[in-house]
Structure 1
Amino acid sequence: MRAFVFFTRAFLDAFLDGELAFYLMQLKVFLSDSLNPHLNLATEEWIFNNLEPDQHALFLWRNEDTILIGRHQNPWSECNLLRMVDDKVHLARRTTGGGAVFHDLGNTNFTFLSPKESYSLKNNTQIIFQALEKFGVKGEASGRNDLLFRAGDGYRKFSGSAYREKKDRAFHHGTLLLNTNLQRLRSYLLTNPKRLRAFNLESARARIANLSEIAKDVRHEKMVEAMIASFQSFYSSSSEIECLTASSLLEIPELKSQYESLTAWEWLYGNTLEFNHHIQEYLSLGSFEIQFKIYDGFVKDLRIYTNCLYPTLVEEITEALMEKPYDCPSVIRNFEPIISSHPELEAGLRELRAWICQTIN
């Protein structure tokens, strides 16, 4: 009886606070036994597209050696492609923004999938931190997408993440560095001097490190167990757990089609122009490389490669500049609706616009 009264009070409090949906959510956990990055990314898309409207889901997975680039990044300027081929390292491109990262079996990758109205980055981060407590690690959030732990001489970054949403749902995914080979990470990623200078200025207090630096017994299997327990504990509910195998996944037509799309040359390498004007800079919204193709003074085609965390924003900018005069007044005029619709990003957008104008003139 006491438990019933307690639940009723919590239920009424949630109703009065407008948080009733929190208590009505169904939970589901997906575990992948595949180490293929393209299949895991396709699985993530498949789950995202088929998520029940009232469901929170957690997908846990890992990849064999892979460089994973953001949706709007240029593989030729981000990666040492020849070395990757020699060493049999996969190239994969995700559908979210952000920068290039290295995956190996020392990573645990997570994806939180939620109905859009109840999506919360803060909640997801809390679930991760609660899982880390089982290994004696206290996590801290920093910057736009970094998770850190404190070491003797400063902070260490052990996780980065990216986000995506559509009309009725959202997801947040990232990697937890457990005991990855950090030396290999550096050998496959190319360093942009401007980005390096900006990174040193913004993040000098934190360097990339493995959680095993302070939690010697951390392993993928143990992290999976901790994440599932924390996920269930946070939402005060048990969850259905579905184990996904590579063979069974490829028997699903929608998933197989998504897998084929993500392994296609057009998705991984295509859409890189023979460009007339190529500009590159590191700004507060991220690193930007823009290739313009100009004909008769108009922008006939362009590509924006960036680790900006807002992929739909990049698409808005691309659409706004396409088929418009290639001059500063046109850029200023066509940026205004974008700035108006994203007031929280106004300073970064004005900086980006000013840089484009400067390079045109």
Structure 2
Amino acid sequence: MTKLKVFLSDSLNPHLNLATEEWIFHNLDPSQQVLFLWRNEETVVIGRNQNPWSECNLAQMKADNVHLARRTTGGGAVFHDLGNTNFTFLSPKESYKRENNIQIIFDALKNFGIQGEASGRNDLLIPFHDGPRKFSGSAYREKKDRAFHHGTLLLHADLTRLGNYLTPNPKKLQAKGKESVRARVANLTEVAKDIRHEQIVETMVASFEKFYGGKAEIESLTLSSLQQIPELKAQYESLSNWDWLYGNTLEFSHKMDEYLSLGFFDFHFQVEDGVIKDLKIFTDCLYPQLIEEITTSLRGQTYRGETVRKTLAAAREKYSDLSAGLTELEDWLCRHLEV
């Protein structure tokens, strides 16, 4: 009989939950069937090759206590909140069938009177009078002995929030048609108003066990699990550190300009792997030596608010009569790159 394993995350920490996915994929025995159910606090999750400074409104995210997470797979940015239930399946590659996982999800949803249908490779839909709408998207990974399928179920997610934290390229936004995409998405509470995460977890586990005809070993994971599982701890440290979230970014330029009390400032940053490789400041400020010192100090430093704050603190100490203007400059810069 196939061994069944279920992991339930008691943590809402996105870095722990994404690390758990990586640990499951790389370290667990691939001969078993595994189901992992989890959800995150408010988080923008970007793809492996995305640039957080160009994709995200980092200052707004910080003000609203929204996490940034980067997954190891590709794709675009998504917003997670407590209205999303996320699922992850791991199966032996030779017996893997995507249809099995979809059947488990659909059987679980039948408990709430929901009849789902699959569309294409990635989407699950529910019918409405004006046409089907998507309540789940998913993605796939595999290597020689294992297959991995993960996605999200929209229970009562705030479908408007992602727009608050993204700063997409206007061409990308125009090409995708923001409003038409949003109109095709639905929360499951629109057809089963009382559905909640805890109920979905219970029915998904029961459906998983019924499908494979066995009793699953169930394990809860928390941040304290990191101390008992060294491989999980290593994944967590890797996915939650600054180098992965921000430093793992291809070369890009960031331009910003503003009229401030010290003059007009036009900053041109050239950034590679999260480090300021070059910086030019065009300004009508009356203190050229100050501008030269700021430029020299920032070059070669990490591209983060902490770096700017340290540099401007040193400048305030030396140019104490310009303290108010330098504080204004610091606040403005940090609003654009605060991490």
TM-score, normalised on structure 2? 0.69
**What CA distance in whole angstroms lies between the structure 2 residues aligned with 1:108 and 1:51?**
22
1:310 maps to which residue?
none
Output the CA distance in 2 between the equivalents of 1:143 and 1:206.
18
Could you say what secondary structure the match of 2:161 adopts? Answer: helix
Q: Is the 8 A contact 1:155 1:206 kept in 2?
A: no
User: Which residue of structure 2 aligns with residue 175 of structure 1?
Assistant: 152
Q: In structure 1, what is the equivalent of residue 16 of structure 2?
A: 39
CA contact (8 A) 2:45 2:78 kept: yes
2:76 partner SS:
coil
Please give the per-residue CA displacement for 1:165-217, whole angstroms capped at 9, x wherever unaligned.
2221121111111011222222112344444444349x769622211011111
Quick one: distance in 2 between partners of 1:137 and 1:200?
29
- Counterpart selection for 1:247 from 224, 229, 248: 224
Aligned to 2:131: 154
Seen in structure 2, the aligned counterparts of structure 1 residues 170 and 134 have a Cα distance that, compared at 3 Å, is same
Deviation of the 1:109 alpha carbon: 0.7
Instruction: Determine if the alignment matches structure 1 residue 257 to structure 2 residue 234.
Output: yes
1:221 aligns with 2:166: no
Read off the aligned partner of 1:257 and give its amino acid letter.
A
Alignment pair present for 1:139 and 2:119: no
Q: Is the 8 A contact 2:44 2:66 kept in 1?
A: yes
**Structure-1 separation of matches of 2:227 and 2:33:** 24
Contact 2:49-2:249 at 8 Å conserved across structures: no
| Aligned partner of residue 112 in structure 1, secondary structure | strand
Q: Note closer, same or farther for the CA distance 1:192–1:25 as it changes in structure 2 (3 Å cut).
A: farther
Report the alpha carbon displacement of residue 145 of structure 1 after superposing the two structures with TM. Answer: 1.4
Change in CA separation of 1:73 and 1:205 when aligned onto 2, cut-off 3 Å: closer
- C-alpha distance in 2 between matches for 1:225 and 1:139: 18
**Counterparts of residues 263-342 of structure 1 (less than 5 Å):** 263-274=240-251
> Which whole-Å CA distance do the structure 2 matches of 1:224 and 1:45 have between them?
21
Shift of 1:142: 2.0
The equivalent of 1:8 in structure 2 is none
| One-letter amino acid of the counterpart of residue 194, structure 2 | D
RMSD: 2.4
The code of the aligned residue for 2:242 comes to: W
Three-state SS of the structure 1 residue aligned to 2:24 is helix
User: Residues 131 and 255 (structure 1 numbering): CA distance in 2 closer, same or farther, change over 3 Å?
Assistant: same
Tell me what 2:62 maps to: 85
Letter in 2 for 1:109: N
Q: Unpaired runs of 5+ in structure 2? A: 254-269, 273-339
Q: How many residues align?
A: 255
- CA–CA distance in 2 between the matches of 1:185 and 1:83? 11
Give the 3-state SS of the residue equivalent to 1:160 in structure 2: strand
Secondary structure of the 1:135 match is coil
Are the aligned partners of 1:155 and 1:205 in contact in 2 as well (CA < 8 Å)? no
Q: Secondary structure at the match of 2:134?
A: strand
Counterpart check, 1:57 vs 2:34: yes
Give the whole-Å Cα distance in 2 for the aligned partners of 1:222 and 1:235: 20
Distance 1:174 1:251, change over 3 A: same
SS, match of residue 266 in structure 1: helix
Kept in 2, the 8 Å contact 1:96–1:163? The answer is no
Contact 2:27/2:231, CA 8 A, preserved across alignment? no
Partner SS, residue 110 of structure 1? strand
3-state SS in 2 of match to 1:31: strand
Equivalent residue for 2:86?
A: 109
| Cα shift at 1:245 | 2.3
> For the Cα contact (< 8 Å) 2:5–2:32, is it kept in 1?
yes
In structure 1, runs of 5+ residues without a counterpart are: 1-23, 277-290, 294-361
* Match status 1:73 vs 2:50: yes
Matched, 1:232 2:209: yes
Q: Aligned partners of 1:220, 1:266: CA distance in 2, in Å?
A: 33
**How does the TM-score come out when normalised to structure 1?**
0.65
Query: 1:126, CA displacement in angstroms?
Result: 1.5
Q: Could you tell me how far apart the structure 1 residues matched to 2:238 and 2:75 are?
A: 20
In 1, distance between residues paired with 2:26 and 2:4?
Answer: 16
- The aligned counterpart of 1:353 is none
Looking at structure 1, the residues matched to 108 and 58 of structure 2 have their Cα atoms a distance apart, in angstroms, of 36
% same residue: 73
Conserved? CA contact 1:149–1:158, under 8 Å = yes
| Matched-pair contact (CA < 8 Å) for 1:97–1:163 | no
Distance 1:204 1:261 in 2: 33
Pick closer, same or farther for the CA change 1:32–1:204 going to 2, 3 Å: closer
What letter matches 1:52 in structure 2?
Answer: D
Question: Which string of whole-angstrom CA distances, capped at 9 and with x for unpartnered residues, describes residues 236-275 of structure 1?
Answer: 2221111222213344222111111001222111233445
